[in-house]
Amino acid sequence: MKRVCILPGDGIGPEVIGCATSVLKAATDHLEFVEGSIGQSAFEAHGAYLPDETLDLMKSSDSTLFGAVTTPGAPDYVSPVLKFRKELDLFANLRPVRSFARTGASGPIDVVIVRENSEGMYTQNEVFDDTGVTTMRRVTRRACERIIGFAIDYAVRGGRSSICCVHKANVLKASDGLFLSIFRNMMSGAGSTLKADEQLIDSAAMHLVTDPARFDVIVTLNMYGDILSDVAAGVAGGLGFAPSGNIGPKHSVFEPAHGSAPDISGTGKANPTAAILSGAMMLRHLDMAETALSIERAVASAYSSGHLTFDLGGRHGSESFTEHVLRAMRSRETL
Ligand code: NAD
């Protein structure tokens, strides 16, 4: 039995995590669930965006499934997401994006973005002076080696064929140059059959839209990975299609890549696909690959049978789409 911490969060978080949890419960009885609070709802109830009790629950569980939080306007706000990534040493952010039948504007996409998750712009190190603001962006050899090693290992174990290093070393010669040189060294030393490729972030963004099939696994720095994964999600059909996993040596947190979507919160129109697929990623991480595959196949089956969500111009909201996924799982009418 594995213990999963559920953190619904704010906005559409509780809606899509409710759908994902019902799929997980239908898929296996080898999970037990505990629930914690995070985000604005946690602040209102406990005076903290990431209460200590929540962090303890995350640490004592085998994995966590998290929805999304809304960022308040307060200037001294520290993101609970950045905090748990740091506290749990979740150095790798794995963001697979694939289109399903009847989704995707530029042809099929099946790309995995491996995003460095611990430094770069996200250390929020900003210094004001009379003339403006200086933002410090740190790139360390250790973080580059960890994330590139993770990407190589992931690609080899997943039977992937190539890794593209995405960077801006033509401008950020020292910092992105360090990332690129470590990539070149590790790929040449890996002795693997993986093809090594390199692209500047700007041209990679363009190619993801015009020719997504040229990418297999992408490894990149923190902010580039954040932006590129939303570009890839757009190509697949929208933000509702991008699951993600934050992975470290001991802990893991899986979450849809999207935010709390206040514009559609409470309407029942949120696409739960990214949350459901984040649950499947979590199962694979917990060595339950077959169960994960049955969920992924059921999602693909729901789309290929024409059950389209609102973001694709269809008529299915979170609950009715999830019902079709559950039906596909029950009837094994999978692809
Ligand atoms: P967002 O991802 O919440 O929404 C962007 C757009 O995509 C919106 O139009 C929204 O309706 C749509 N969208 C997102 N998820 C969808 C889904 N599952 N189905 C259908 N449509 C979906 O980004 P935003 O609007 O820039 O941010 C809203 C809030 O979320 C902000 O407070 C932001 O800081 C926060 N945020 C949180 C996280 C997180 O918790 N990890 C990540 C990103 C943004």
Give me the mean pLDDT over the 189-217 stretch.
91
Give me the mean pLDDT over the 245-271 stretch.
97
pLDDT tens digit sequence for 70-91: 999 887 888 999 999 999 999 9
Ligand 1 center to residue 261 CA distance, Å? Answer: 4
Cβ 18 vs Cβ 44: under 8 Å: no
Of 56, 195, 202, 287, the catalytic one is: 202
Please say if 10 is a catalytic residue. no
Ligand 1 probe mutation, 49, 258, 264, 267, most atoms within 8 A of CB: 258
Ligand 1 center to residue 259 CA distance, Å? Answer: 3
Rounded-to-integer distance, Cα 315 and Cα 333, Å: 21
Nearest CA to ligand 1 atom 10: 261
Say what the pLDDT of residue 312 is. 85
Q: Among 28-32, 70-74, 221-225, 273-277, whose mean pLDDT is lowest?
A: 70-74
pLDDT tens digit sequence for 136-178: 999 999 999 999 999 999 999 999 999 999 999 999 999 999 9
Please say if 226 is a catalytic residue. yes
Q: How many other C-beta atoms are found inside a 10 Å radius of the C-beta of residue 87?
A: 15
Give me the mean pLDDT over the 302-330 stretch.
92
Give me the mean pLDDT over the 298-318 stretch.
90
Atom of ligand 1 nearest to the CA of 263: 11
Ligand 1 probe mutation, 124, 260, 309, 319, most atoms within 8 A of CB: 260
Say what the pLDDT of residue 331 is. 85
Cβ 258 vs Cβ 95: under 8 Å: no
Please say if 76 is a catalytic residue. no
Give me the mean pLDDT over the 194-205 stretch.
97
- Is the C-beta atom of 71 inside 6 A of ligand 1? yes
Nearest CA to ligand 1 atom 1: 259
Of 49, 154, 168, 216, the catalytic one is: 168
pTM over 0.75: yes
- Is the C-beta atom of 239 inside 6 A of ligand 1? yes
- Is the C-beta atom of 264 inside 6 A of ligand 1? yes
Please say if 168 is a catalytic residue. yes
Ligand 1 center to residue 255 CA distance, Å? Answer: 12
